[in-house]
Amino acid sequence: MTDHFDPKSNVIRLSDSVENSTSIAAIGIAAHEVGHAIQHAEGYTPIKARAALVPATKFGSTLAPILILIGIILTRSAQYLNFGYKLAIIGLLAYSLVAIFQFITLPVEFNASKRALVTLERREILTAQEIPMAKKVLSSAALTYVAALVSSLSTILRLALIISGNKGRRR
């Protein structure tokens, strides 16, 4: 994430390729990051919720694979079957925090892009012919967040099937 708004230092950071470019894509990206700065300044609820989830998401994404792996290994033993299953479920719930974070990120990103497009149009930073191109760039960028959420949900489903399959095999 080279292009981003850092709420801790209240600074927009842009990569050299964005900062030193006058392309429609670069202007759109910079305006999108300004959108995040405005969200932060206005106390936009979804960005506050996302920020509050960051520590839990980091914890969950780090701990989840370990818990799931240990849980699955323990389900191989009749003696530790229930404990292993519970441990794997806890890991799965911890990983679910990632999907929740990504879900909350969607309105944040779409709103920042909407703000960017409104600003670019109202301030006449881009022409009427350039606005649709900026919209395509920002929409494509937003779809990467949708793809990340779908990927996380697919991983949760896959892990749930693996965990339930391991439990069912021992009974």
Q: Which residues are catalytic?
A: 33
Q: How many helices (H) and strands (E) does the chain have?
A: 5, 2
Burial of 98: CB neighbours in 10 Å, binned 0-12, 13-18, 19+: buried
Q: Pull the structure tokens for residue 120.
A: 């670019």
Angle of helix 24-42 versus helix 81-122 axis, rounded to 10:
110
Contact 50, 111 (CB under 8 A): no
DSSP state of 126: S
128 vs 1: CA distance, rounded Å: 29
DSSP per residue, 66-101: HHHHHHHHHTTSGGGHHHHHHHHHHHHHHHHHHHHH
